[in-house]
Structure 1
């Protein structure tokens, strides 16, 4: 199971997905630094999720707010297993494909404002089937295995 955190300059989306679950999509406003990441994302979302899913592995990108010493210590103190992640490999991350699905869904009938957009994203997130999520998780395993076998070099993915 992997918990993925998708971040941008104006919003922070929190999503967890795995073969057996689809956690809610959450949203935070504003820029994210290590302190906000710990207080607004990790503590209320990751810790609660871990309590329900102790076999979880956290997968996040290498954003500065994720790699800060305080964040690494926070996760280590709570025995959170973190999947090592290459600096520039979004193509390996299954959640990127989910964001693409959500983006395409939101463009079918373009929302008129941020509130409508948030509503569409939450609704469409809930419509993603467990079968689709399981396929994405399996593709991640195949892609990561291929990268490891290629010693980080080029793969067919």
Structure 2
């Protein structure tokens, strides 16, 4: 499993997670990768408040994770159930997968797959991420208009 984040100014390093994840491991990942990313974002946006968006996976919505995010003053976006079409990282994961496995590419060794994932992640155009960020208000409005139904994003 891989964890990563994106925002207007760039993306995090990829974090390759080992083993079954739980809230304690997840908050460790957030401490290692999200907090520096959010601090850097805060330095770029001044008085604006960065908002962290994640889905409702059990390790994301656990009391332990919520307490961690609250203690770190991370503002969360309320997240409707079963709505991956709202989260721009899903578009990024899709693009990454298409590039990694382009032309039916296969990998014999995990290390080769990881190297290709890292390479393709580094090649994602910042303009693509900005386009996705600009789409968030439209995604939210489409969700409101469709009363939570799938939007097609």
TM-score range, shorter chain: 0.7 to 0.9
Q: Give the unaligned 5+ runs of structure 1.
A: 1-10
Question: Whose strand proportion is higher, 1 or 2?
Answer: 1
Matched positions, count: 145
Classify 1:124/1:154 alpha carbon distance in 2 versus 1 (closer, same or farther; 3 Å): closer
Question: Whose helix proportion is higher, 1 or 2?
Answer: 2
Q: Give the unaligned 5+ runs of structure 2.
A: 43-48
Compute the RMSD of aligned alpha carbons.
Answer: 1.7
> For residues 84-125 of structure 1, what are the alpha-carbon distances to aligned partners after superposition, in whole Å with 9 as ceiling and x for unaligned?
111201112111111111111121232222111111111101
Classify 1:53/1:23 alpha carbon distance in 2 versus 1 (closer, same or farther; 3 Å): same
**TM-score after normalising by structure 1:** 0.83
In structure 2, the partner of 1:18 is 7
> For residues 31-62 of structure 1, what are the alpha-carbon distances to aligned partners after superposition, in whole Å with 9 as ceiling and x for unaligned?
111111112x1111122222212243111111
> For residues 97-154 of structure 1, what are the alpha-carbon distances to aligned partners after superposition, in whole Å with 9 as ceiling and x for unaligned?
1111111112123222211111111110110111111111122321112212444246
In structure 2, the partner of 1:125 is 121
- In 1, Cα distance between the equivalents of 2:4 and 2:90? 11
In structure 1, the partner of 2:46 is none
Are 2:85 and 2:151, in contact at CA under 8 Å, matched by a contact in 1? no
**TM-score after normalising by structure 2:** 0.85
